Amino acid sequence: MKKLLIKSLRIGLLLGVAGVLWTCAKKEDDGICTETCCDTSVVAYKYIKEVKNAEADYANGGFWLKEQINGVNGVIVCDIGLEKTNNLQNTFDPKNIPNSPFAYRVSGIIYQDINGVSIGGNNPIHYIRLDNVTKSK
C-alpha cells in the first residue's frame, strides 16, 4: 500500500510539472507568459518581439534602443539574462540622446508588463530577456 501511495505521488508530481510547463508554453504561444519568461517580479508579460543585434546603450540594468519597439526605446533587463550585464559600462546619457554612441548590440525577447504599470502614465514598461550582448565595433 505504501509503495502504491509513493508511486501515485510521483506520478501526480510529474503530471503537475508537465502541466505547468505546458501551461507556460501555451500562454507564450498566446503572447502572454508568467514569471518563467522574465522574472518573478511581475505577474504576467506580453510577448512583443524578438530582437537580434539591436543597437543600444546601457544604463544601470536597462538598455536604450536606437529603434523604438512598441513605442518605447527603454527596456529593463529581466532577471533571466541579467548576469550578462555584469561587466558593461554605462554608455547612455539622457542629456545627449542625439549623439548616443549605441555602444552595444543586444539580442533577446522584448516583453511588455501587462499589469498596467507605465512610465509617466503613457508608456508601458518593457523588459528584455537578454540572450546576448556584445560591444559594437
Q: Which pTM was predicted?
A: 0.73
Whether the CB-CB separation of 31 and 42 falls below 8 Å is answered with no
pLDDT in tens, the chain (137 residues): 444 433 443 333 333 333 333 333 334 456 777 667 887 665 688 899 999 999 999 999 999 999 999 889 999 999 888 999 999 999 999 999 889 999 999 999 999 988 766 766 677 889 999 999 999 97
- pLDDT tens for 13-43 read 333 333 333 333 334 456 777 667 887 665 6
DSSP state of 26: H
Domain coordinates in residue numbering, the chain: 1-30, 35-135
Which grid coordinates are listed for 105?
548590440
